Amino acid sequence: MDLNQNENALLEHIQEARERGEAKAPKAEELGIGVESAYKVQAAMGEGRKLKGYKLGLISPAKQTQMGVDSPIYGRIYEGMILESPVSLSSMIEPRLEPELAVVLGEDLPPDASPGAAHSAMGGLFLAVDFLSSVWEDYEFGAADVVADNASGGGFLLGERLLIEPLEGNLRLYHNGRLLTEGPVGDMGNVGERLAWLSKAVGGLNAGQTILVGSPAAASKAAPGTLELHGPRGSVLVANLQD
């Protein structure tokens, strides 16, 4: 992928932060990089890695307004980012957690798929925990910064049981028995619409890809201990987090 000089500078800035495991001040605005260029930086950063799927971020209109964008954003999920318990937090920068849902696609989706077609293409729906890891200090960033930094994608845990629709109730995330964060599943909107939007944005999706469809709750700091995510109809995901 061809990057211009400023896009390259942002790429190197992020890569250096990742290698050192240290957060930095946001840089996209200073370099005059907008969201579209930031996606080029994101793609270049993952070149040569095997793509396993995507994650959506900023799914709520309130967050979008706050960040000055009019759609969700997406990041890429590469091989090795789908985690199993116990999860090591040591390679993540200021890790935070979000309770989510994940879709595994059963069919390919063309870029112009309708929301209904996207819904039909779902092979399975699972509980998920999104481990955020950001190179931007205190998660204070502009939309282009977070897009270039792969939408803060650090890793993902997935539930081991298919969820049954319709989904109701809350996603509740606990750490060492204490409620960390929660949000209503209803706030996540229509999963088919999200998948259709993503398919258009990335030029089509493939069967077998894993899509994290966003979080209805605020992110919360991650620390070693026992993590529990409770979801619709008694579904649960339990994991151990380590340094």
| 35-45 helix and 5-20 helix, angle to the nearest 10 degrees | 50
- Should residue 54 be labelled a site residue for other proteins when binding is judged by CB under 8 A? no
- Should residue 102 be labelled a site residue for other proteins when binding is judged by CB under 8 A? yes
Minimum distance from residue 127 beta carbon to other proteins (Å): 10
Near other proteins by CB under 8 A: residue from 15, 61, 116, 162 = 162
Instruction: Pull the structure tokens for residue 171.
Output: 């996603």
Amino acid letter for position 100? E
| Rounded-to-integer distance, Cα 195 and Cα 213, Å | 8
For the chain, how are helix, strand and coil distributed in percent, rounded to 5?
A: 30, 30, 35
- Should residue 119 be labelled a site residue for other proteins when binding is judged by CB under 8 A? no
Pair type for strands 96-105 and 178-184: unpaired
- Should residue 25 be labelled a site residue for other proteins when binding is judged by CB under 8 A? no
- Should residue 105 be labelled a site residue for other proteins when binding is judged by CB under 8 A? yes
- Should residue 82 be labelled a site residue for other proteins when binding is judged by CB under 8 A? yes
Q: Are 55 and 74 in contact (CB under 8 A)?
A: yes
- Should residue 106 be labelled a site residue for other proteins when binding is judged by CB under 8 A? yes
- Should residue 32 be labelled a site residue for other proteins when binding is judged by CB under 8 A? no
* Contacts (Cβ under 8 Å, ≥6 apart) of 55: 74, 75, 76, 77, 130, 151, 153, 156, 211, 212
Minimum distance from residue 239 beta carbon to other proteins (Å): 13
- Should residue 123 be labelled a site residue for other proteins when binding is judged by CB under 8 A? yes
Number of residues that bind other proteins (CB under 8 A): 22
Near other proteins by CB under 8 A: residue from 67, 158, 205, 241 = 158
The binding site for other proteins (CB under 8 A) comprises 50, 52, 79, 82, 102, 104-107, 123-124, 126, 158-164, 207-208, 210
